[in-house]
C-alpha cells in the first residue's frame, strides 16, 4: 500500500539515490533498447577511503568493484555524490550497486564536502567549491588502475543536482549524466513557488541535514554514518564531524526569506546561488548528454526539466511521470492507492542502464533521439514528443462566472465574496511533503476540502479534453490585506461527484508585478523577478490582477466530467500563514471584459 509522511531512513537507505527493482511495462518507449547480458554471478565489493580534493580537504569515498576483477580489467564508472551519508554503518551494497557490477561498472559514492564522514564545511547547496569537487572526483576516478577513463553520474533530488552539475567541471572523461528529480530553479520550483515560501520544506529539511551533519543516529533502526576503512577507532570521523559544526543551519538561515535577492548572511550570498540554471554555459560547452527525470506530482521538478529542455542545447531525453519524489510510488490520483509505478522499478533500472550503455560505453540502442516521454493521467498512458509545447497545442479560455460556474463563454459581470479559511490544507501527503523522504503522493477526494475554498465548476464536458502544459489563471480581485497567499487548484469532478486534484499554482500578493526585463532563461510561464525592487503590495479594497501559471500537467478530462477551479488563501501544513493573524476577505470579479479566467493548454486528440 502507499505510505504516508516521510522517513529520514529512506534518505539513508540508498532507495532515493538510484532506481528500484520490479517488473516492466511495455508502454514505455525506452523499453525497446537492447542490452548485453548481465553477469549475474558478479557482486559489488566495497572499499572505503579518503580522497583529497584540490585544496587538500578529504572526502569520504566508497568504491564498489565487481567480484573477480582481473588485473588488466578496466571499467567505466558511475559516480554518485550525496549529502545524505554515502552509507550507514553496517549497510551492505545496495541492489542497484550489485546490478551495476553485473553490467561491468565500478561505482564511486562520495559524501560531499562538510557532510557524512567527509571533512570540511558545507556552506550551502551546490556551492562553487562543491561543484569543483565533483570535477576533482572525476579526475581521481580516471587515474585509478581499474578505470577505463569514462564516467557517468546519477542521482535523485540533491544527488540529482550533483549528477547534473558534474557536467560543469567533469571534463572529457564525463560522458553522460542522469539527474533525477533535481532543482533547475530552486526559488520557483521548490523554495518559494510564486514567492510563497515553503516553510515545511525549509524547516524540516534544515533540521534533518543538521542532524545528519552532526552524525546523530537516524532510523529506525538507529544508524550513524559509515567510517572509511582506515578509521578503525572512529577518530577520523569524529574530527570530520567537528568541522561540520561550522555548517550554517538552513532552517535558521532562511527564516526571513521574502525576495529572491535577499542576502543570507550565513551563506555569504543569496538563495539564487543554488540555482542550477546558472551553470548553463559550462554545461552546454561540455555537450554532455542529459537523461532527465521528473514528475507532475513532485514539487516543481517537471517545471524545471521542461525549462532545461527549451534552454540548453545539450542532447537531452526527458521523462515526466506520475510519481512520488524518486519514482518509488505511482501518484496518479485517478488510480487506486496501491497502483504500481509506471514503469516499475526494473523498467527504470533498464532505462538507466540503456543510457549508460549508449553514452558511457558507446553502444547503440533506442535512447539516442532528443525527446520528451510524458505520462497523461486520467488516460494513464505514456506519450512522446520532440517539441514543447506539444505540437498542435492551443489555449482554451474558461471564465469564472456567477453561481460558482466555469464557462467557455464570457459571462455577465459579477462578484463573489470569500472569507479566507486559514485552516485549508492539501494535507501531508502532497507534492511538497514527498520531497523529504520520497513518501507517496496522495490527494484524497477533494470534495470535503473544497468546502473551505471558493470553487468554480464547468458543465459536464461534451467531449474528452486533453490538457498538457502549463495552465494559467488571471484573477481580478480585491482583498482587505496588503499582502497574502493566493492558491489556485485545477481539479476534475466525476459524474458521481468525486473531486480529483490535478495541479496547482500560487502567488504571493507582493510579487504580483509582471516584469518586462529579459528573463535569465527562456520562460514557459509569465515572468516575474521576485526581486525587492519589483515588490508591489496590494492596496486593500483596490481591484488588482493576479496572473500566474500553475505547475505543468498532462491530464485527460473525460467526456461527462467537469473541470473545477478552486481558490484558497492558505495551505496550512506546507506554507506559512500570511498575514500572520487577523481575518482576510476577498472580492472576486468575474465576467465582462476584465473578469477572472483560466487558460488551458489543450492538445488535439489523436
Catalytic site positions: 157, 298, 325
| All cell numbers assigned to 91 | 549497510
Distances (CA, A) of 150 to 77, 81, 141, 147, 314: 6, 17, 9, 7, 18
CB-facing half-sphere around the CA of 13: CA atoms within 13 A: 16
The DSSP code sequence of 535-602 is -----TTS-EEEEEEPPPEEEEE-TT-EEEEEEES--TTTS--SSSSS--EEEEEESSTT--EEEEEE
Closest CA to 590 of 401, 409, 408: 401
User: Residue 467: what are its φ and ψ, rounded to 5°?
Assistant: -115, 115
68 CB contacts (<8 Å, ≥6 apart)?
41, 42
109 in the Ramachandran plot: left (φ > 0), alpha (ψ -120 to 50) or beta? beta
Q: How many CB atoms lie within 10 A of CB 578?
A: 20
| 556 Cα distance to chain centroid | 23
Cα angle, residue 251 at apex, residues 246 and 256 outer, rounded to 5°: 115
Distance CA 274, CA 311 (A): 18
Distance CA 551, CA 135 (A): 33
Q: Please identify which residue in the block is written with the cell numbers 520550483.
A: 189
268 CB contacts (<8 Å, ≥6 apart)?
123
Amino acid at each position: 500500500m502507499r505510505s504516508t509522511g516521510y522517513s529520514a531512513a529512506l534518505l539513508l537507505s540508498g532507495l532515493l539515490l538510484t532506481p528500484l527493482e520490479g517488473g516492466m511495462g511495455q508502454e514505455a518507449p525506452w523499453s525497446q533498447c537492447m542490452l548485453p547480458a548481465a553477469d549475474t554471478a558478479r557482486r559489488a565489493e566495497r572499499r572505503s577511503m579518503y580522497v583529497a580534493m584540490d585544496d587538500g580537504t578529504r572526502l569520504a569515498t566508497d568504491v564498489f568493484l565487481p567480484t573477480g576483477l582481473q588485473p588488466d580489467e578496466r571499467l567505466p564508472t558511475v559516480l554518485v555524490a550525496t549529502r545524505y551519508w554515502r552509507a550507514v554503518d553496517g549497510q551492505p551494497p545496495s541492489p542497484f550497486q550489485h546490478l551495476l557490477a553485473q553490467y561491468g561498472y565500478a561505482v564511486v559514492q562520495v559524501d560531499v564536502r562538510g557532510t557524512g564522514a567527509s571533512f570540511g564545511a558545507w556552506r550551502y547547496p551546490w556551492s562553487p567549491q562543491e561543484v569543483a569537487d565533483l570535477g576533482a572526483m572525476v579526475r581521481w576516478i580516471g587515474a585509478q588502475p581499474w578505470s577505463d577513463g569514462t564516467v557517468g553520474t546519477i542521482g535523485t533530488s540533491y544527488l540529482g543536482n550533483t549528477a547534473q552539475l558534474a557536467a560543469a567541471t567533469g571534463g572529457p572523461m564525463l560522458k553522460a549524466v542522469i539527474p533525477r528529480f533535481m532543482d533547475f530553479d530552486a526559488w520557483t520550483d521548490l523554495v518559494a513557488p510564486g514567492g510563497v515560501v515553503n516553510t515545511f520544506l525549509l524547516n524540516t529539511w534544515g533540521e534533518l541535514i543538521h542532524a545528519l551533519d552532526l552524525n546523530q543516529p537516524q532510523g529506525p533502526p538507529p544508524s550513524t554514518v559509515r567510517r572509511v576503512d582506515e578509521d578503525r577507532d572512529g577518530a577520523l570521523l569524529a574530527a570530520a564531524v567537528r568541522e561540520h559544526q561550522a555548517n550554517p543551519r538552513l532552517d535558521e538561515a532562511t527564516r526571513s526569506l521574502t525576495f529572491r535577492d535577499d542576502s543570507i548572511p550565513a551563506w555569504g550570498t543569496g538563495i539564487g546561488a543554488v540555482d542550477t540554471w546558472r551553470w548553463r554555459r559550462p554545461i552546454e560547452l561540455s555537450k554532455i548528454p542529459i537523461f532527465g527525470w521528473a514528475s507532475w506530482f513532485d514539487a516543481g521538478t517537471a517545471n524545471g526539466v521542461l525549462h532545461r529542455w527549451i534552454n540548453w542545447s545539450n542532447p537531452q531525453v526527458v521523462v515526466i511521470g506520475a510519481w512520488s519524489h524518486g519514482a518509488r510510488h505511482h501518484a496518479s490520483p485517478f488510480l487506486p492507492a496501491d497502483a504500481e509505478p509506471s514503469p516499475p522499478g526494473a523498467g527504470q533500472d533498464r532505462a538507466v542502464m540503456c543510457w549508460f550503455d549508449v553514452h558511457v560505453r558507446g553502444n547503440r540502442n533506442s535512447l539516442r533521439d532528443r525527446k520528451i516521454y510524458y505520462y497523461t493521467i486520467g488516460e494513464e498512458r505514456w506519450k512522446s514528443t520532440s517539441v514543447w509545447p506539444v505540437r498542435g497545442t492551443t489555449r482554451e479560455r474558461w471564465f469564472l462566472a456567477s453561481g460558482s460556474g466555469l464557462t467557455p463563454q464570457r459571462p455577465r459581470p459579477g462578484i463573489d465574496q470569500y472569507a479566507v479559511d486559514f485552516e485549508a490544507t492539501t494535507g501531508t501527503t502532497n507534492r511538497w511533503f514527498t520531497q523529504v523522504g520520497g513518501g507517496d503522493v496522495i490527494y484524497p477526494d477533494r470534495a470535503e476540502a473544497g468546502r473551505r475554498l471558493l470553487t468554480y465548476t464547468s458543465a459536464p464536458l461534451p467531449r474528452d479534453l486533453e490538457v498538457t502544459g502549463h495552465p494559467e489563471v488571471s484573477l481580478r480581485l480585491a482583498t482587505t490585506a496588503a499582502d497574502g497567499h493566493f492558491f489556485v487548484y485545477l481539479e476534475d469532478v466525476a459524474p458521481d461527484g468525486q473531486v480529483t486534484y490535478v495541479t496547482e499554482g500560487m502567488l504571493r500578493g507582493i510579487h504580483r508585478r509582471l516584469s518586462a526585463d529579459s528573463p535569465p532563461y527562456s520562460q514557459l510561464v509569465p515572468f516575474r523577478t521576485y526581486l525587492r525592487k519589483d515588490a508591489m503590495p496590494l492596496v486593500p479594497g483596490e481591484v488588482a490582477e493576479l496572473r500566474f501559471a500553475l505547475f505543468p500537467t498532462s491530464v485527460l478530462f473525460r467526456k461527462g466530467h467537469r473541470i473545477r477551479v478552486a481558490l484558497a488563501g492558505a495551505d496550512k501544513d506546507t506554507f506559512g500563514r500570511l498575514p500572520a493573524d487577523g481575518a482576510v476577505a476577498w472580492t472576486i470579479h468575474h465576467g465582462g471584459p476584465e473578469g477572472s479566467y483560466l487558460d488551458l493548454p489543450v492538445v488535439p486528440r489523436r
